[in-house]
Structure 1
Amino acid sequence: MSGGTKRQKDMRKALRTLLPRVPMRDAEAILALALAGHLRHLPPSIALWQATTSHVRHEMTDYDTLLEDGYDRDAARYFVVGDMNAVLKDWGCNKEVSDDAGP
C-alpha cells in the first residue's frame, strides 16, 4: 500500500488514523470504495468515513438481509447500528454511527 497519487496517500494516512486496527482485507476494500469516482469530490476524511460505514454496513452486518426481508432502509439501518459501532470500536475507531444513520 505504498506510492500512488497524493489523494491515495492522504487516504491511506486518514485510514490509519481512523481505523488503526482494521484488518488488511477490509482496509483494501474500504480504500477502493473511498477512491471511487463518485466520492472524488469529497475530502479524503469524509470519503473514507462514507466508504467505511458502507463497507461495515454491507459486509459485517445483516443490513442486506433485513432489506431483503422487507425492512425499509431506515429501519434496517436502525437495527444494525449497534453491530456497526462494535466493529468500528474493534478496529480502534473513535467515531460512531448514530441511530439516525446517514450514508
Structure 2
Amino acid sequence: MAGGTKRQQTIRRLLRATIPRAPMADAEVIFEHALAGHLRHLPPSTALWLATTSRVRHAHTDYDALLADGYEPDAARFFVVGDMEEVLADWGCSKKIDLEGEEPA
C-alpha cells in the first residue's frame, strides 16, 4: 500500500490516523469510496470523513432498515448517530459526527 498518487497516499495516511483500529474489510471500502469521482473536488480529509461515516451508517447501523420503514433520511440519521459514534470509537476515532454539517450519503 505504499504506492499510488499523492491523493491516494494522503488518504491512506489519514485513514490510519483517523480510524486506526478499523477492520481491514471496512478500511478498504472506505479508502475506495474516498477516491470516488464525486468526492474528488473535496480535500482528502473531507472525502475520507464522508466515506467513513457513509460506510459506518450503511454497514454497521439500522439506517437502511429505517429508510425502508419510511423514515426520512434526516430522521434515520438522527436515530443511528449514537451507534455510529460507538463504532467509530471502537475503531479509535476521536472525531464526533456533526449531523448539521454532514452531506447526505
If the length of structure 1 is used for normalisation, what is the TM-score?
A: 0.95
Q: Is contact 1:81-1:101 (8 Å) kept?
A: no
- Unpaired segments of 5 or more residues in structure 1? none
TM superposition shift of 1:101: 6.6
Alignment of 1:72-91 (within 5 A): 72-91=72-91
- 1:47 corresponds in structure 2 to 47
Query: Which sits farther off after the overlay, 93-102 or 63-72?
Result: 93-102
Q: State the AA in 2 paired with 1:49.
A: W
- 2:9 corresponds in structure 1 to 9
Q: 1:99 to 1:45 in 2, by over 3 A?
A: closer
Q: Is contact 1:77-1:101 (8 Å) kept?
A: no
Structure 1 CA distance for aligned equivalents of residues 98 and 10 of structure 2: 26
Two-structure CA RMSD over aligned residues (Å)? 1.1
TM superposition shift of 1:78: 0.4
Structure 2 CA distance for aligned equivalents of residues 48 and 33 of structure 1: 8
TM superposition shift of 1:27: 0.5
- 1:28 corresponds in structure 2 to 28
Structure 1 CA distance for aligned equivalents of residues 8 and 98 of structure 2: 28
Q: Which runs of 4+ in 1 moved over 3 A?
A: 98-101
- Unpaired segments of 5 or more residues in structure 2? none
Q: State the AA in 2 paired with 1:7.
A: R
Aligned length in residues: 103
Q: State the AA in 1 paired with 2:98.
A: S
Structure 2 CA distance for aligned equivalents of residues 67 and 101 of structure 1: 20
